[in-house]
Amino acid sequence: MTTPSTPLTSANAALLFPVLSTAQILRIASHGLIRPITRGEVLIEGGQTNVPFFVVKAGEIEVIRPSGLGALLIAVVRANEFTGDISMILGRPAQMRLCASQSGEVVQLTRDQMHALIQTDAEIGAVLMKTLIYRRIELVARGVGDAVLIGSAQSAATLRIKTFLTRNDHPFKYLDLDRDADVRDLLDRFRVEPAELPVLICRGETVLKNPSNQEVAECLGFNARIDWAYQRDVVIVGAGPAGLAAAVYAASEGLDALVLETSSPGGQAGSSSRIENYLGFPAGISGQELAGRAYAQAQKFGADVMIAKSAAELTGEREAYGVRLDDGATIPARVVIIATGARYRKPALANLGRFEGVGVYYNATFMEEAQLGDGDEVIVVGGANSAGQAAIFLARTGRPVHVLVRSSNLSESMSRYLLRRIEEASTIQVRTRTEIVALEGNGRLERVTWRDGTGAVSSHDIRHVFLMTGAEANTGWLKSQVALDVKGFIKTGPDLTPDDLAAAQWPLERSPYLLETSRPGVFAVGDVRCGNIKRVASAVGEGSIAISFVHRVMAE
């Protein structure tokens, strides 16, 4: 049984269901086949991998959320319209069931044929990509998909899973134990005790109790299609702006590229509420949106992106490297690009770990904001642009925001446009030469003690602290297999001294290329690289130009 509501067609119909011309349909048909459909025929089953793409020539197709989560008619695809959402490009399993509701005729393409179409026909490629992205945005916004998360705003694990799904652009419905009336019924139906929360219900069939990000990715099939066992031209470690740019350029220039990402595409930039200084976005763009676009773009060109997979070691030798994963598998590669970026340094506070996700946060996005009560006072620690963005984002609803910074002013470390906004915001108070000395609370953060510039120590009933302090390179996994600087960032090109190269037994006549590390054919780009300018644009630039050196190495 389906209900009459159709969330996807109720708004923005022209964006979500563009009508193709006869000439366009003919061009699409030249990549696939034309075949009849019969009323009642299931064209795609929820959870199916290798999802085909359909253009309706005659008849109608219903898009239905499978019954495990309560059947729901999502949309009706009519003549001259087409099926699909961005999952097709990402190679993920189908979230919806597609069923012919009126007999007729369709053009049918396999995923590979659809990829070929997008890459060779720029006009149709643009229409399809735009539409598939809009559809995904709409599904995410409406929480209509194949997953239901039941949790609590008081749980760090709930926030982690929400963040993971959101930053992977996976639509899900969130139900809060303390706020949503129908939670108990659902828990009874799936035989889950409140103490076992958070739980993720996948496709209405599988119940994951407090799953790790890897388990979520596996259950939802994020990596289902990827064959990681054969040698790639290039393996890119990290899917922040630098890694995704490298993937776009590598794949678009014909290289077989695979990207590994511990968590979600976008890296640090993905956690930015609004990036305003990246070229081409005069109104700014959220990090999440920029990351989602780059992720789809990399896959459009044929790069594979493995989610929730961490590199644990670099193995092998020149032309036959391997990247060993934390689950033990090793991915062979001719060339490796390290784009593992940086993360905030954690201050040495005794019980910090107890409050992470329940009062202490490392991002300031809508998800963390949803943990706060209306008007709750917050602290942002840090003096760089990320702290400035966080303060402005959190203060926009009028809540009091304290910015704590160890130095004597912000102007040394923050962009002028952010400083001006902070100065103009009446609810933001900057406290220079001030640092947190203690956190207290029972189960969650309840009280913060700080020491100010005069040495005075005071305690405050503030329940939320956003930590955005200093950057630490994500190079622990490399175990010094490439030369690092004293702070742990990777040395490349002209920064490598003769001593570095001698210690690494550099085997070639030539010197390392720009962005090449102390091992031939291993490059480092973006924030992880020593001397890098820590900006989205420089990460993207380095990721892109690294590919020209990859070609040179492969030609040697």
Applying CB under 6 A, which residues contact ligand FAD? 237-243, 260-263, 267-269, 271-272, 275, 277-278, 310-311, 339-342, 385-386, 389, 474, 477, 526-528, 534-537, 539
**Residue whose CB is less far from ligand FAD, 302 or 341:** 341
Task: Round to whole Å and give the CA distance between 40 and 103.
Answer: 8
Query: What is the DSSP track for 443-479?
Result: SS--EEEEE-TTS-EEEE----EEE---EEES-GGGT
**Between 101 and 262, CB nearer to ligand FAD:** 262
Nearest CB to ligand FAD, comparing residues 73 and 275: 275
DSSP state of 285: B
Residue 275 DSSP label: B
Least separation in angstroms between CB 64 and ligand FAD: 35
CA atoms lying within 13 Å on the CB side of residue 187: 19
Least gap, CB of 167 to ligand FAD (angstroms)? 9
Question: Smaller CB distance to ligand FAD: residue 155 or 268?
Answer: 268
Bridge partners, residue 275, by sequence? 285
Burial of 442 (0-12, 13-18, 19+ CB in 10 A): exposed
The nearer residue to ligand FAD, 342 or 394, going by C-beta atoms, is 342
Residue 309 Cβ, how far from ligand FAD at the closest point, in Å?
7
Quick one: which of 92, 89, 76, 78 has its CA closest to 132? 89
Would you say 28 or 90 has its CB closer to ligand FAD?
90
* DSSP state for residue 535 in the 8-state scheme: S
Report the residue number, 192 or 540, with the smaller CB distance to ligand FAD: 540
Nearer to ligand FAD (CB atom), residue 276 or residue 446 = 276
Q: Which is nearer to ligand FAD, 219 or 247 (CB)?
A: 247
Burial of 30 (0-12, 13-18, 19+ CB in 10 A): exposed
Tokens 């289902």 label which residue?
Answer: 224
Q: Name the minimum Å distance from CB 402 to ligand FAD.
A: 18
Residue 193 identity (one-letter amino acid)? E
Q: Of 37 and 528, which has the nearer Cβ to ligand FAD?
A: 528
Other residues' Cβ atoms within 10 Å of the Cβ of residue 505 = 8
Distance of closest approach, residue 500 Cβ to ligand FAD, in angstroms: 21
384 in Cβ contact with 362 (< 8 Å): no
CA 164 distance to own-chain centroid: 8
User: How is residue 69 written in tokens?
Assistant: 């989560």
Q: How far is CA 415 from the centre of its chain?
A: 25
Closest contact distance (angstroms) between CB of 534 and ligand FAD is 4
To ligand FAD, the closest distance from the beta carbon of 244 in angstroms equals 7
**CB 504 → ligand FAD: shortest distance, Å?**
20
Question: Cβ 418 to ligand FAD, closest distance in Å?
Answer: 9
Three-state secondary structure call for residue 501: helix
- Encoded tokens for 6: 């159709």
* Closest CA relative to residue 104, chosen from 62, 64, 50, 75: 62
Query: How far apart are CB 18 and ligand FAD at their closest, in Å?
Result: 33
Nearest residue to 263 via CA among 333, 216, 297, 208: 216
Count of helices and strands (H, E) across the chain = 16, 26
Q: Closer CB to ligand FAD, residue 59 or residue 383?
A: 383
CB of 460 to ligand FAD, least distance (A): 24
Residues 200 and 211: their CA atoms lie apart, in Å, by 8
